[in-house]
C-alpha cells in the first residue's frame, strides 16, 4: 500500500505541476484532439478487432487461421505465367501470376515500392544536384501525376495499353515500329503500372526535400576528402537522404496496399480482383449489413502491416533527422549537365516523364471528347460533358455534396489541426507525443480499413438512428462523412500549420503573455496572423483531398444516393457502366482544375511551397 501511496502522490504532484502551465485554451487544445481520436479513430478500430478476434462468441484466431491457411489467400506455388507471347496476335501479354490474395498484394506493393524508389532517387539527384535547360519544365512534368483524378486516370492507363487501339501500341508498334510486337498489360501488372505512375512523385518529392536539406558543406567536405561522382552519391548524398527515401518508400508501400481505385478499374481481369483491398471491398458490399469476421480479419491484417511500417519509419526518421545547423546556408553550386547528360535526360528521362503525365492528359481529352472507344484519339471534341456536370441535377448533386462536405470538414480540420499542432509544438508534457502520433497516423492508415471500422462503429453505437448505416431508409451519411474526411485528411492541414507554428519563435507568444494578454488573445492576435498563410494553404490542400477521397465515400457515402459524394459517381461508372465515362472524366477534370487553382493560390498568393505529405 505504501508504494501505491507514493505513486499516487507523485502522479498528483505531476498533475498539479502540469496545471501551472495550462489554461482553458491549452486544456481545450489538449482535450479536443484527444477525445476526437479516441472516439472516432481508436474506438472504431478496436471495435473491428473485437469482430475479427471472436469466433462463436469466444476470443479466437479462427478467422486469421482460415485466411492464412487458405490457398485463395496464400499460394506459394503461384498460378499462371506472369507474361507470355501470343503468336496469333503477335502480342506480349503481361498480367502477373496469382500467388493468392495476400501475397499478390505484398508482391504488387513491393514491386511498386522498389520501382518508384529507384526512379525517385534518380529524379531527386537530377533535380537537386544538376542544372540544365528545361529543368523547371521537367520538374513540373514530374508533378503531374499528383493531380487527383481518382478512377479516371487508371481508366486512361488501361486505354493506353489497349492492344488494338491503345496509344502506346499505336505509337511504339504501329507508327514508330520500335516494338516488334503489341503490348497488352492487364491484371496485377496493370495495377502495378498504374500505381507506379500515380505514386512515384510522392517518393521523388520526399527524397528531393531530403536532398535539398543536406547542408552543401557536408558534400563539399566529402569532395574535399577525395570522394567524387558516384562515390560521393553512394557514401554521402544517398545515406544522408535515407529519411526521405524511407518515408517516401513506406508511404507508397502502404498506398499501394490500400489502393482501391486501380483494382476497381482493372476488375474486368480476374487477377485484378485478387488483392486484399479489393477483396475487403467486394466482400463488404456483397454482405452489407452483416458483420463479417472474415472481412474484419483481412482489414485487421492490412491495418497491422500499415501501422507496423508507419511506427517503424517514424522512429527511424526521428532518430535520423540529420539536422545540420542552418547558419546562413550557402546556396548550393549545381553541376552543369554535359552532352552525355543532356542525351540521357532528353532521350530517356523526358520520354518517361511525358509518359507518366499521359493519364492526366488523357483525362482532359476524355472529358472533352464526343466519343473515344475504338480509336487512338477521341473522335471529336465537345464541351457537353463539362456542361452536363453543372446542368444535369443528377450529376451535379455529387459535385455539390462533395464541395459541401469538404467545406464543413474544413472547420473541423482547422480546429483539430490547430489544436494538435499547437500542443505538439508548445507543450512539453509526457503524452503530447501520442497526440502527434495519432494526428499524423491517418496518412498511413488504410482508408478502406477506417471506412469499414466506421460502418461497424456507427451500426453498433448508433443503432436505428439516422447515423446507423444499416438503417436503409433514414441513414444520413453527412456527419459520418465529415468526421471521417476530417480525420483522414487532417495530416495535410496539420503539417502546414505545424510548420508555421514551428517558425514562430515561442518568445513572440511569451512576450504577449508577459504583457498581460491571455492565451486566447495571444493566439488570436500574435500566432494566427503570423501563421495564416500556412493555415490557409493547409486547409486548401485538405479541401482538395477531401473532395477526391475514395474509401469512406464509396463505403459509407454510397448508402444514401441523395447524399453521395463525387467519387461514388466515378466508382459507379467504372464498376457497372452506369453513367458515362465522359462525365466521370469531366468530374476528374474539374477536380484537377480545382487542385491547380489551389496550387497557384498557395504559391503565388501565400508564397508557400505546395508540398505533398511525407511522414
Partner 1 sequence: MVSVGIFNITKRFGDVIALDNVSLDIGDGELFTLLGPSGCGKTTLLRIIAGLEFPDSGKIVFGDRDVTYLKASRRNTAMVFQNYALWPHMTVYENVAFGLEIRKYPKDEIRRRVHDILRLVKLEGMEKRFPGQLSGGQQQRVALARALVVEPDVLLLDEPLSNLDAKLRVEMREEVRRIQRETGITTIYVTHDQEEALTISDRIAVMNKGRVQQVGTPIEIYRSPKNEFVATFIGKSTILRGVLKKIVDGYGVVDIGGFEVLGRLESRFRVGDKVTVIFRPEDCRVGEIDGYNKLEGIIESIMFIGSYFHIRLNVNGKDILILADVDGDFKEGMPLKFSIDPDEVMIISSKD
Smallest separation, CB 515 to partner 1 (Å): 4
Smallest separation, CB 518 to partner 1 (Å): 6
CA neighbor of 302 nearest in space, from 62, 70, 45, 484:
45
Whichever of 472 and 515 has its CB closer to partner 1, that residue is 515
Task: Locate 165 and state its grid cell.
Answer: 487501339
DSSP 3-state of 548: coil
Smallest separation, CB 509 to partner 1 (Å): 9
Whichever of 50 and 533 has its CB closer to partner 1, that residue is 533
Smallest separation, CB 514 to partner 1 (Å): 5
Smallest separation, CB 27 to partner 1 (Å): 14
Whichever of 321 and 507 has its CB closer to partner 1, that residue is 507
Smallest separation, CB 328 to partner 1 (Å): 15
Whichever of 335 and 532 has its CB closer to partner 1, that residue is 532
- Gap between the Cα atoms of 101 and 71, Å rounded: 9
CB 455 within 8 A of CB 469: yes
Order of strands, edge to edge, in the sheet holding 182-185? 83-86, 91-94, 182-185
- Gap between the Cα atoms of 221 and 216, Å rounded: 9
Farthest-apart Cα atoms in the chain, separation:
87
Smallest separation, CB 57 to partner 1 (Å): 49
- Gap between the Cα atoms of 446 and 249, Å rounded: 16
| Long-range contacts, 434-441 (Cβ 8 Å, 24+) | 435/30, 435/33, 435/34, 435/37, 437/311, 437/314, 438/33, 438/37, 438/41, 438/42, 439/33, 439/37, 439/490, 439/491, 439/494, 440/314, 440/491, 440/494, 440/495, 440/615, 441/41, 441/307, 441/310
3-state helix, strand, coil in the chain (%, to 5): 70, 5, 25
Smallest separation, CB 23 to partner 1 (Å): 7
Task: Locate 109 and state its grid cell.
Answer: 506493393
- Gap between the Cα atoms of 490 and 538, Å rounded: 9
Whichever of 174 and 510 has its CB closer to partner 1, that residue is 510
Determine how β-strand 130-131 pairs with β-strand 335-336. parallel
Whichever of 21 and 72 has its CB closer to partner 1, that residue is 21
The residue ranges that bind partner 1 (CB under 8 A) are 17, 20-21, 23, 505, 507-508, 510-518, 521, 525-526, 529-530
Whichever of 283 and 521 has its CB closer to partner 1, that residue is 521
Whichever of 504 and 585 has its CB closer to partner 1, that residue is 504
Amino acid at each position: 500500500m505504501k508504494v501505491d501511496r507514493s505513486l499516487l502522490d507523485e502522479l498528483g504532484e505531476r498533475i498539479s505541476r502540469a496545471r501551472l502551465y495550462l489554461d482553458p485554451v491549452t486544456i481545450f487544445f489538449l482535450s479536443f484532439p484527444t477525445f476526437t481520436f479516441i472516439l472516432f479513430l481508436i474506438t472504431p478500430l478496436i471495435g473491428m478487432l473485437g469482430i475479427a478476434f471472436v469466433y462463436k462468441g469466444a476470443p479466437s484466431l479462427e478467422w486469421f487461421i482460415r485466411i492464412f491457411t487458405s490457398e485463395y489467400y496464400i499460394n506459394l506455388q503461384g498460378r499462371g505465367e506472369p507474361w507470355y507471347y501470343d503468336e496469333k496476335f503477335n502480342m506480349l501479354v503481361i498480367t502477373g501470376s496469382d500467388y493468392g490474395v495476400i501475397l499478390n498484394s505484398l508482391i504488387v506493393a513491393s514491386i511498386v515500392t522498389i520501382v518508384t524508389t529507384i526512379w525517385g532517387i534518380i529524379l531527386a539527384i537530377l533535380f537537386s544536384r544538376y542544372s540544365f535547360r528545361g529543368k523547371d519544365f521537367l520538374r513540373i512534368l514530374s508533378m503531374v501525376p499528383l493531380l487527383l483524378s481518382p478512377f479516371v486516370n487508371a481508366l486512361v492507363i488501361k486505354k493506353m495499353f489497349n492492344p488494338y487501339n491503345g496509344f502506346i501500341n499505336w505509337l511504339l508498334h504501329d507508327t514508330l515500329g520500335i516494338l516488334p510486337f503489341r503490348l497488352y498489360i492487364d491484371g496485377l501488372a496493370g495495377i502495378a503500372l498504374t500505381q507506379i505512375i500515380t505514386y512515384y512523385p510522392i517518393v521523388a518529392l520526399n527524397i528531393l526535400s531530403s536532398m535539398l536539406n543536406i547542408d552543401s558543406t557536408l558534400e563539399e567536405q566529402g569532395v574535399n576528402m577525395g570522394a567524387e561522382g558516384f562515390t560521393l552519391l553512394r557514401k554521402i548524398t544517398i545515406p544522408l537522404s535515407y529519411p526521405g527515401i524511407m518515408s517516401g518508400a513506406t508511404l507508397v508501400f502502404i498506398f499501394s496496399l490500400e489502393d482501391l481505385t486501380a483494382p476497381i478499374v482493372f476488375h474486368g481481369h480476374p487477377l485484378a480482383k485478387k488483392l486484399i483491398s479489393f477483396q475487403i471491398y467486394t466482400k463488404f458490399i456483397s454482405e452489407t449489413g452483416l458483420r463479417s469476421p472474415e472481412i474484419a480479419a483481412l482489414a485487421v491484417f492490412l491495418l497491422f502491416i500499415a501501422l507496423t511500417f508507419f511506427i517503424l519509419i517514424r522512429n527511424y526518421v526521428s532518430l535520423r533527422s540529420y539536422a545540420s545547423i542552418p547558419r546562413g546556408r550557402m546556396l548550393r553550386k549545381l553541376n552543369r549537365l554535359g552532352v552525355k547528360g543532356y542525351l540521357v535526360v532528353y532521350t530517356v528521362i523526358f520520354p518517361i516523364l511525358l509518359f507518366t503525365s499521359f493519364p492526366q492528359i488523357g483525362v482532359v481529352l476524355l472529358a472533352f471528347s464526343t466519343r473515344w472507344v475504338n480509336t487512338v484519339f477521341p473522335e471529336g471534341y465537345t464541351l457537353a460533358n463539362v456542361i452536363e456536370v453543372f446542368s444535369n441535377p443528377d450529376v451535379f448533386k455529387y459535385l455539390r455534396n462533395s464541395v459541401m462536405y469538404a467545406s464543413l470538414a474544413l472547420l473541423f480540420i482547422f480546429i483539430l489541426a490547430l489544436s494538435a499542432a499547437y500542443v505538439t509544438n508548445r507543450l512539453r508534457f509526457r503524452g503530447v507525443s501520442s497526440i502527434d502520433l495519432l494526428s499524423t497516423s491517418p496518412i498511413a492508415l488504410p482508408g478502406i480499413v477506417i471506412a469499414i471500422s466506421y460502418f461497424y462503429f456507427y451500426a453498433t453505437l448508433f443503432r436505428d438512428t439516422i447515423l446507423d448505416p444499416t438503417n436503409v431508409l433514414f441513414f444520413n451519411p453527412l456527419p459520418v462523412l465529415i468526421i471521417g474526411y476530417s480525420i483522414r485528411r487532417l495530416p495535410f492541414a496539420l503539417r502546414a500549420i505545424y510548420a508555421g507554428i514551428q517558425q514562430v519563435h515561442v518568445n513572440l507568444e511569451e512576450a504577449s503573455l508577459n504583457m498581460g494578454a491571455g492565451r486566447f488573445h495571444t493566439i488570436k492576435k500574435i500566432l494566427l496572423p503570423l501563421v495564416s498563410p500556412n493555415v490557409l494553404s493547409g486547409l486548401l490542400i485538405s479541401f482538395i483531398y477531401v473532395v477526391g477521397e475514395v474509401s469512406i465515400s464509396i463505403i459509407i457515402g454510397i448508402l444514401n444516393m441523395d447524399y453521395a459524394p463525387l467519387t461514388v459517381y466515378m466508382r459507379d461508372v467504372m464498376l457497372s457502366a452506369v453513367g458515362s465515362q465522359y462525365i466521370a472524366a469531366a468530374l476528374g477534370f474539374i477536380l484537377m482544375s480545382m487542385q491547380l487553382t489551389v496550387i497557384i493560390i498557395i504559391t503565388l498568393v501565400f508564397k508557400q511551397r505546395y508540398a505533398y505529405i511525407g511522414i
